Structure 1
């Protein structure tokens, strides 16, 4: 049987893989750098050539990616598994683009690695993805398994212009994924045009999307190209698609079906070749069932779905992301980057991050400016993080039991449950009246009070209020319009 070649400048990695593969009766040959592999490959007989090549991505001399290109020139079709301790999107996409069979982030699970090697031996197939510049900064970071799946999906979609639906909570990075899908696609040289359908008033959204003719309505002094025309030959990113009005959903479906549309007030069809990527934080299936979203449009958008995990599901990435954001903030301000003390990082890792990655980025900006010392201690963290840490450590009240025997979530002793009891009483009173829209009523009142409190705390500064609430500024503005709080 032909051997499996391992190339890594770390002897411990070579040792672990050699022993594990020996237990599987798989012969191996190890190298410390790419040049040794190329020399050996040039002189090896057919029987001595590798069945699978496993290579680190960063080594002295040529990188694993450079080795991958040269090996495939000498032995096309050789399954190559790329290993890296740098868990970023660029590494994953670069590996796939240059013909890697798979991408294995370090530290890896050994049984998973062996299974992957066996699959490479059996199948011998390769995946391809478009390549960013090797020296460009990483678009996205994440070593959590859920993020690695997102990276792999972006890599596998890179040769396609298929419609993609990105789901995930606000602040989780949906637009970053959309930009990565565009950058690593056949239309990467075309424009990337983004529009937040929730941030534009209903009566203006049609004109924003499809443009208008001169004189189409009051104030339309000149012809205007809409976002579809602007994105011709590229990608149109429709953020918060779940909030699109039903009548515009019908027009969007027609455009996705036949690739043409009419400007507002126009009579001549306009054609545009556009790859559409949509995103939402809402459950579109539930909105379809509620009659708030067209089922046929949902199926048209839901060709490929990527779920972006919230930060609380990828806590192992918090340290990496915080370090990246602190360095980025320091570069912007011309300062030395702050560092998180272990206790401060531990407290950050227990924070719920309702605003997800965007909230972590804002916290790191705040620390860069406000933390008094170079090393950030727990006492230097923002008040909301310190408060959450105190609440998490506080003794819990005895849990109560809900109807049906379900245990309620215990409430920290430091939290006064008065408003929750009042909410329960109000809900009971409304239920007794037979009302059918109780959820909507209470949700609107809750949101209005929350927004008013945040604006009062920030003296009316909306950007700061949105940051404190852990939502986007556009979301805050839209909510204020919906609730009549302008």
Structure 2
């Protein structure tokens, strides 16, 4: 047997007997005479299994067990009782003890129980190691995803984060665009500098200009003092402009100048200010289409679209839903002090069938609500929002050429994806031929293929 054992017993003779037996079996054994000594020992030297007498002066074995489980829950504890009744030993097992032994100890029984305890510890260590490995593999800077789509996103982040290039992140609302931006910053050469973010759609244009570029004292009514903008504050760091597709055309021109020249002027000022800022942007719009419609400057589009990242919607990566659920359960267990550990099978089925128009953000909201409302350690259907409590309608047909619109409607995005897949298959994945079949430009079809993560 390989492993480190700590024997806790106030009787020196008993400690020596147990130590001799286990050392003969190949174990590394330490022995102490009280609960406080045991706690002091494991604080400085971790052990695999603890054998503790139940009846000891001062801190008894049950109290020692409780303290061990509070601080080192994975430690395997075996209790030893010298009294005919096993009630106290059973109580100890309810509180987390692995097994119990009765005095006088038999050599064979002691050896067998310790051997199994060491095996249990080894298995739990292997499981934790595997979970850590899976977490590292499927979680990238708080972005979770084992799906092929998300693994491609992780690879893109790793490749482009160290560069100084401008990046634009495409994705629906709630897909985690800001998380990707933060991951890019955290893995860049600027990681020790500031990361600042602003939502261009959430601030009126008149205020957004001063927010981005600052203003001079007296520039307008209420400008009682000079104020730095985000570009100045983010100098040598990273600035993230979310929903950049909603940026006013006038501000687009000023932003273009910063990207081209690395300089700007505060509102109401004439002094040119130089900055060194890496710009990251995000949008839920097709900027190429916005350019065609005159809503977005073409020159700015090409400046921003150096390296695009396309975030898939949650409904196209449903294999990630169980991992996301576990992540959010852990998060909101701690936040709300509720021991909600899992979801019922019926709830999991609803989650996998649901379309999640609000994407990961909507899923997180549902999990938090359910943790708050749950009466037990499991999320049942009755804790879900009403729209998720009722059985979900069958999914829309996969063929875009032969269907009737169901009463609950149909997703145009789902239909568009199906049409594109059908055209690509019909054209043997010739993008030029498929674009002609669909009546759209080659570049527009390329964008759609990237957006929906379509592959031959």
1:201 partnered with 2:204: yes
**1:288/1:295 contact within 8 Å kept:** yes
Q: Which residue of structure 2 aligns with residue 180 of structure 1?
A: 183
Q: Describe the superposition over 1:393-429 as per-residue Cα deviations: whole angstroms up to 9, x where unpaired.
A: 9xx9xx9xxxxx95454314xx599xxxxxxxxxxxx
**2:340/2:374 contact within 8 Å kept:** no
| Alignment CA distance shift 1:409-1:272 (3 Å) | farther
* Bigger Rg, which one: 2
Q: Which residue of structure 1 aligns with residue 292 of structure 2?
A: 289
**1:347/1:385 contact within 8 Å kept:** yes
Which of 322, 326, 335 is 1:319 aligned to? Answer: 322
**1:322 and 1:416 mapped to 2: Cα distance?**
28
1:228 partnered with 2:231: yes
| Alignment CA distance shift 1:416-1:187 (3 Å) | closer
| Alignment CA distance shift 1:298-1:89 (3 Å) | farther
**1:311 and 1:376 mapped to 2: Cα distance?**
21
Three-state SS of the structure 1 residue aligned to 2:209 is: helix
**1:161 and 1:89 mapped to 2: Cα distance?**
26
**2:252/2:297 contact within 8 Å kept:** yes
Offset at residue 234 of structure 1 (A): 0.5
**2:375 and 2:278 mapped to 1: Cα distance?**
47
Q: Describe the superposition over 1:292-327 as per-residue Cα deviations: whole angstroms up to 9, x where unpaired.
A: 000000000000000011000110000110111011
Q: Describe the superposition over 1:423-453 as per-residue Cα deviations: whole angstroms up to 9, x where unpaired.
A: xxxxxxxxxxxxxxxxxxxxxxxxxxxxxxx
Offset at residue 383 of structure 1 (A): 1.0
Offset at residue 283 of structure 1 (A): 0.6
Three-state SS of the structure 1 residue aligned to 2:252 is: helix
Q: Which residue of structure 1 aligns with residue 406 of structure 2?
A: 411
Q: Which residue of structure 2 aligns with residue 438 of structure 1?
A: none
1:85 partnered with 2:87: no
- The RMSD of aligned alpha carbons is 2.7
Unaligned ranges ≥5, structure 2: 1-124, 411-456
Matches for 1:308-387 after TM superposition, within 5 Å: 308-387=311-390
Q: Which residue of structure 1 aligns with residue 220 of structure 2?
A: 217
1:153 partnered with 2:184: no
**1:87/1:141 contact within 8 Å kept:** no
**1:140 and 1:390 mapped to 2: Cα distance?**
28
Q: Describe the superposition over 1:349-403 as per-residue Cα deviations: whole angstroms up to 9, x where unpaired.
A: 111101000000000000001133322233432212224x34339xx9xx9xxxx
**1:196/1:239 contact within 8 Å kept:** yes
| Alignment CA distance shift 1:213-1:409 (3 Å) | farther
Which of 267, 271, 274 is 2:270 aligned to? Answer: 267
Q: Which residue of structure 1 aligns with residue 111 of structure 2?
A: none
Three-state SS of the structure 2 residue aligned to 1:319 is: helix
Three-state SS of the structure 2 residue aligned to 1:238 is: strand
1:391 partnered with 2:393: yes
Q: Which residue of structure 1 aligns with residue 192 of structure 2?
A: 189
Matches for 1:22-33 after TM superposition, within 5 Å: none
**1:372/1:380 contact within 8 Å kept:** no
| Alignment CA distance shift 1:295-1:409 (3 Å) | farther
Number of aligned residue pairs: give it: 283
Which of 255, 260, 277 is 2:258 aligned to? Answer: 255
Three-state SS of the structure 1 residue aligned to 2:143 is: coil
**2:206 and 2:404 mapped to 1: Cα distance?**
43
**2:352 and 2:163 mapped to 1: Cα distance?**
37
| Alignment CA distance shift 1:252-1:331 (3 Å) | same
TM, length-normalised to structure 2: 0.58
| Alignment CA distance shift 1:319-1:257 (3 Å) | same
TM, length-normalised to structure 1: 0.55
**1:338/1:368 contact within 8 Å kept:** no
**1:281 and 1:251 mapped to 2: Cα distance?**
22
Three-state SS of the structure 1 residue aligned to 2:394 is: helix
**1:88/1:141 contact within 8 Å kept:** no
**2:369/2:383 contact within 8 Å kept:** no
**2:168/2:281 contact within 8 Å kept:** yes
Unaligned ranges ≥5, structure 1: 1-58, 65-82, 93-137, 400-404, 418-486
